[in-house]
Amino acid sequence: MLDKNGIAKRIAREVKDGYYVNLGIGIPTLVANFIPKGINVVLQSENGLLGMGPFPYEGEENADLINAGKQTITTLPGSVFFDSSLSFGMIRARKVNLTILGAMEVSERGDIANWKIPGKMVKGMGGAMDLVASAENIIVAMQHVNKAGESKLLKKCTLPLTGIRCVKKVVTEMAVLDILPQGGFKLIERAPGISTEQIRNATEGQLIIEGEIPEMVL
């Protein structure tokens, strides 16, 4: 069973040299901490920055320099600022190679729900709908089941959708799963100590298991 850092660490392995990556709030943000040295990656922040650096040292926070989560950040040599319209332009034009974000539910055909729970205060979708509608490669970091133990990997999402047929891969505390073009969660790896059976029980959507499923190596 993976903790949040474990999920982030596993996702970091999907980040290839030369990628431009957009990281959502939550677990995805942690992915940046696990990108191996020697892998050159540029982080895009959709409020208008390519080349997001780490948080500033205490006392060096700059109100004019924040990320899409409104956190104070820094730049790196080669960073570039641009206006929001160009930022979403490059997102729509699929120049960002990988988008990693959280989800409340994912369906077996790759639909994602992560912005709204009926009956609860709606805060808005921010840039998530633009990102999921455009990104070529979307990995979702999420919990496999909710607090009641119910699967969040579903045949069909029950919550209002953020985007359709867009998620390519899901990494949970239990497993790594690819979403196949024709639909279905294909089990790729098990988390340490998690059995195929446990994953089957926690997955409501169609689960595809072919051959022996390896335990992931972190």
Partner 1 sequence: MINKTVKNVDEALIDVKDGITVMVGGFGLCGIPENIIAALVQKGVKNLTCISNNAGVDDFGLGLLLQKKQIKKMIASYVGENAEFERQMLSGELEVDLVPQGTLVTRCMAAGYGMPAIYTPAGVGTEVALGKESRKFTFNGIEKEYLLEYAFEADFAFVKAWKGDTAGNLIYRQTALNFNHAMAIGGKITIAEVEELVEPGELDPNFIHTPGIYVHRIFQGAHYEKRIEQRTTRKRG
Residue nearer to partner 1 on the CB measure, 8 or 161: 161
Q: Which stretch binds partner 1 (CB under 8 A): 4-12, 99-107, 128-136, 196-204?
A: 128-136
CA angle 93, 34, 217 (to 5 degrees): 110
| 118 is a site residue for partner 1 (CB under 8 A) | no
Q: Which of 183, 46, 207 is nearest to 111 (CA)?
A: 183
Among 92, 196, 198, 201, binds partner 1 (CB under 8 A): 92
Q: Which stretch binds partner 1 (CB under 8 A): 7-15, 127-135, 141-149, 204-212?
A: 127-135
Q: Which residue has the tokens 């998530």?
A: 128
Phi, psi of 55, rounded to the nearest 5 degrees: -60, 150
Cβ(117)–Cβ(104) under 8 Å?
yes
| 79 is a site residue for partner 1 (CB under 8 A) | yes
Would residue 46 show up in a list of annotated catalytic residues for this protein?
yes
Phi, psi of 189, rounded to the nearest 5 degrees: -145, 150
Cβ(187)–Cβ(213) under 8 Å?
yes
Q: Which stretch binds partner 1 (CB under 8 A): 100-108, 161-169, 185-193, 206-214?
A: 161-169
Cβ(176)–Cβ(167) under 8 Å?
no
Which residues inside 14-53 make contact with partner 1, applying CB under 8 A? 18, 20, 40-42, 44-51
Residue nearer to partner 1 on the CB measure, 51 or 144: 51
Of these residues, 46, 105, 173, 189, which one is catalytic?
A: 46
Active-site residue set = 46
